[in-house]
Structure 1
C-alpha cells in the first residue's frame, strides 16, 4: 500500500509540476487536499504535519500549499511557521469577514467545501480574492487555497 501511494504521489506531483507555470486552479487545490488526506490515512497526522511544516514540495508548490487546522480553529501545520499554534480565528479578512470561522464550520459540517475571502497575495503584495478548499480528515481540516483574478 505504501509503495502504491508513493507511486501515485510521485505521478501527481509530476503532473502538478508540469503545470507549475500556470496559476493553480480549483481542481489543483482539491487534488492537493485529497492527496493530503490519503497521506494522513497512510502515514498518519504527525508525518503530515512534519511534511507541511518543512515545505515538502509534494504539499507545497509555492502559490498552492497545504495547511492544517484543528477543529477549534488553531493552525497546527503551515509553511509559514509563525502561524503554527496561533489562534487567528477572530482575525477578519480585508472586508471584515471572519473567514476562519467559516472554514471551521465547513470542516465540522459537511466536511468539505470552499470558503471565499480576501487576503494579501504575497506574489503581488495586493489584497485579492482567495478561495480555500477545506477537507476534514478525522479531527483536523486540510486547507488548500488559490487566488482568483
Structure 2
C-alpha cells in the first residue's frame, strides 16, 4: 500500500509541475502583450491606458505578466504590479546587480528601434526576490512613451 501511495503522490507532483510549466509565460507572450498594450495606448490615450494597465483584473495582467508604462523622461505612468510607482521618475535608476541605467536603456531602445529586448534585475512581485528580468520594450506610436513587459528568468 505504501508504494502505491508514493507512486500516486509522485504522479500528482509530476502533473502539477507539468501544468505549471505549461502555463508559464514565455518571451513571445511578453512581447505580444507589450505590443498589444502599445496599440491600446495609441488608440485610447495615456489616461485610459494607464487605468487599464493598472487594473489587476484587466486585459493586460495575465498571470505573471503585467505592463509598465513609462514616458521618455523616465516617469512611470503606470506599473501593473506596483501602482504606487506611478508618478515616480526612475530615469536614474540603476540595476542593483550590474549598475547599468536600465530605464535609460529602455528609452534608447524605444526611440531608436521602436521595440526590442532589454535585461535588468528587478524585484519579482511574486517572490519579493531580486531576479533577472528579460523584457520587451515597445514604443507607443504618437506618444513620447513606451510600454514594457517581461518575464523573470
- Partner SS for 2:64: coil
Q: Which runs of 5+ in 2 are unaligned?
A: 1-19
Q: Which residue number corresponds to residue 94 of structure 1?
A: 96
Greater Cα radius of gyration, structure 1 or 2: 2
Q: Which residue number corresponds to residue 82 of structure 1?
A: 84
The answer as to 2:74 corresponding to 1:73 is yes
The number of aligned residues is 131
The answer as to 2:147 corresponding to 1:142 is yes
Q: Which residue number corresponds to residue 128 of structure 1?
A: 131
Distance 1:37 1:110, change over 3 A: same
Distance apart, 1:94 and its partner CA: 2.2
Q: Distance in 1 between matches of 2:66 and 2:136?
A: 11
The answer to whether the 8 A contact 2:110-2:137 is kept is yes
TM-score, structure 1 normalization: 0.78
- Partner SS for 2:53: helix
The answer as to 2:145 corresponding to 1:113 is no
Structure 1: 4+ residue segments shifted above 4 A: none
Pairing 1:1-20 to 2, within 5 Å after superposition: none
Q: Which runs of 5+ in 1 are unaligned?
A: 1-18
Q: Distance in 2 between matches of 1:119 and 1:78?
A: 13
